Amino acid sequence: MDALRLPPRRLAFLLFAALLAIAAAEPAAGRDAAGFYNPRPSPDTRFVYVSTSGDDRANGRGENTPLRTLERAKKQLRDGFPDHLLIRAGDRFDEPFGYFAKSGRSADQPMFVGVYGEGDRPEFNGGLLAHAATGVSHLVIQGLAFRDRSRDPADPSFSVEAARRGGYGIKWNERGENVLFEDLKISRFFVGMDLSGDAGDKPDDEEIRARQRAGKHPLRDVTVRRCIVVDNYGVNGHAQGLFASNLDGLRVEECTFDRNGHDEAVEGSKPDIFKHNVYQYFTLNSRMELVGNLITRPSAQGAQVRGGGLVEGNFFGRCPIAMTILDGESRVAGNAVLDASDIAGVQENGFGFLVESVASIELTGNLFAHKNSGSGHGVAVKVSQKWDHHGRDPWRERIGNPQLSATITGNLVSDWPTASKWPAFDVNEDQVDAVVTGNRVDPAGAAVPTLADYMAANGRGGGDPYEALAEEAANRPRGTWDPRWTAAGVNAFLRAGAGLDEAAPAAGRDPSHR
């Protein structure tokens, strides 16, 4: 389904329309011209510099007198102050970043861990860990790279033992609030990012649920923004790109998630139904925002949003299941799902969105096109309760047994073949009060561009368009932002070609669901 569908002149017009649609965006307050967080020191900020060419006998207070090790530098940071830890651009450390347990002063005066000098992200051979009992708040970590070289088949230090062992790029099992991870690159771990609030001394499940119902989450207001989380895999266990739990207020924005879960180049690393690009574990009363991300080629699911929330403007490409969403009030809008696939050698899938036991949800303005799966039952949207093997719906029970409802309007399904008994929008109306209206279903899909069309329009035609997109997005230099290789760029092009932003069809019961 990756072939070019449109003639060159049509491609050029759609590219112009897409770029025009995203060019008007202005950087928000507190950000630089490229849209990244712009640190502003306070009068009492202490600057601490680190470089592989530094010396731990130096004072570390200037670019010309950097320290050599992070451990020495961390000791100079003051907990509760807006200090800046700055690491020289382009440096390559042979050790991991290690533990970090320092907070800033406030949301307006955070502690900042970033980069000085010109060049790309400084890289650490291992991850960053935080699990201090005192908690970490008001912190920005920006512009670093974390890679486990011993798990990279292309690196001379690769070993089968390390590949089987695994590890974490960022393991943030912590208490606190107001943490921003921005412009990081994380690759070749077992789990790229584990953001799990510290629940304390092993409380039982019911105690955790009671806290969650009361809104008492140990970790709050964490943002993962413009990060690159790719090629994290497992040989044993359930590898993930990003895993989150016991956390309220998670926002994942304009990131790239590609090929997380398994790596075919590593012996014994195989896909299965438990390995995903983004996995928010079920947490009561915890809304998540997943906005403007490139989410491509996972082992199983592009995203599991088990706490409900906002899913908007993402591009899901070549996912066996683009997304499963559960729990609270949710809005899913303006996403594009292309080339839905299967879990190779495991299961036929080809699903867009699975909506399971969501109290209420609005799905609007989404595009589903060019399904590439052997499955006849893989529909664009399926809405139902989620049953366990005992014939119960514990998910609905946990949120108070509400009457489930869904509104599905203004979506386009194109070139998405299913068996005749499976409609594009498969809603179990015995379980869910649903309004399905004003949607379009185009079996042929001639009007919807492919990803190959988009890459060709941007000078990257030929070969696998997903490889080309990943090459551009995953190798983005630090501190730069090219809208061509973003979900906003891809989606604007697809929507312009599909006419999805034009007036919706007249309201009425949609024949494309049962």
Environment class of residue 398 by beta-carbon count within 10 Å: exposed (0-12), middle (13-18) or buried (19+)? Answer: middle
Query: Where does the pLDDT of residue 278 fall: very low under 50, low under 70, confident under 90, or very high at 90 and above?
Result: very high
pLDDT score at 297 = 98
pLDDT score at 389 = 76
Q: How far is 485 from 491, CA to CA, in rounded Å? A: 11
**Lowest-pLDDT choice from 126-135, 205-214, 439-448, 475-484:** 205-214
pLDDT score at 132 = 64
Determine what percent of the chain is predicted with pLDDT higher than 70.
89
Choose the CATH number for 47-498 among 3.30.70, 2.60.40, 3.40.50, 2.160.20.
2.160.20
Decide: 293 and 260 in contact? Cβ < 8 Å.
no
Which of 40, 48, 35, 32 is closest to 109 using CA atoms?
40
Q: How far is 414 from 412, CA to CA, in rounded Å? A: 6
pLDDT score at 397 = 78
Average pLDDT of the chain is: 89
Q: How far is 459 from 472, CA to CA, in rounded Å? A: 12
CA 183 to chain centre: 13
Which of 130, 126, 28 is closest to 79 using CA atoms?
130
Report the pLDDT averaged over residues 76-93: 98
Report the pLDDT averaged over residues 240-260: 95
pLDDT score at 506 = 35
Decide: 386 and 392 in contact? Cβ < 8 Å.
no
pLDDT in tens, 142-156: 999 999 999 999 999
pLDDT in tens, 373-429: 988 899 999 999 887 777 788 778 777 778 999 999 999 999 999 887 888 999 999
Query: Where does the pLDDT of residue 508 fall: very low under 50, low under 70, confident under 90, or very high at 90 and above?
Result: very low
- Report which listed range, 327-331, 386-390, 504-508, is most confident: 327-331
pLDDT score at 334 = 97
CA 7 to chain centre: 33
Decide: 385 and 413 in contact? Cβ < 8 Å.
no
Enumerate residues 6+ apart whose C-beta is below 8 A from 513.
Answer: 408, 423, 424, 425, 426, 427, 434, 436
pLDDT score at 57 = 97
pLDDT in tens, 453-466: 999 999 999 999 99
Report the pLDDT averaged over residues 320-345: 94
Decide: 224 and 257 in contact? Cβ < 8 Å.
no
Q: For residue 454, which phi and psi values (nearest 5 degrees)?
A: -65, -45
Which of 46, 51, 95, 54 is closest to 75 using CA atoms?
46
Q: Is the per-residue pLDDT at 9 higher than 60?
A: no
Query: Where does the pLDDT of residue 444 fall: very low under 50, low under 70, confident under 90, or very high at 90 and above?
Result: confident
Which of 368, 363, 371 is closest to 495 using CA atoms?
368
Q: Which two tokens stand for residue 302?
A: 């592009």
Environment class of residue 390 by beta-carbon count within 10 Å: exposed (0-12), middle (13-18) or buried (19+)? Answer: exposed
Environment class of residue 245 by beta-carbon count within 10 Å: exposed (0-12), middle (13-18) or buried (19+)? Answer: buried
pLDDT in tens, 14-46: 665 666 666 555 667 689 999 999 999 999 999
Report the pLDDT averaged over residues 353-361: 94
Q: Is the per-residue pLDDT at 236 higher than 80?
A: yes
Decide: 349 and 373 in contact? Cβ < 8 Å.
yes
Report the pLDDT averaged over residues 316-343: 95
- Rounded to a whole number of angstroms, the CA Rg of the chain reads 23
Determine what percent of the chain is predicted with pLDDT higher than 90.
72
Q: How far is 303 from 322, CA to CA, in rounded Å? A: 6
Pairwise pLDDT comparison (422 vs 296), residue with the higher score:
296
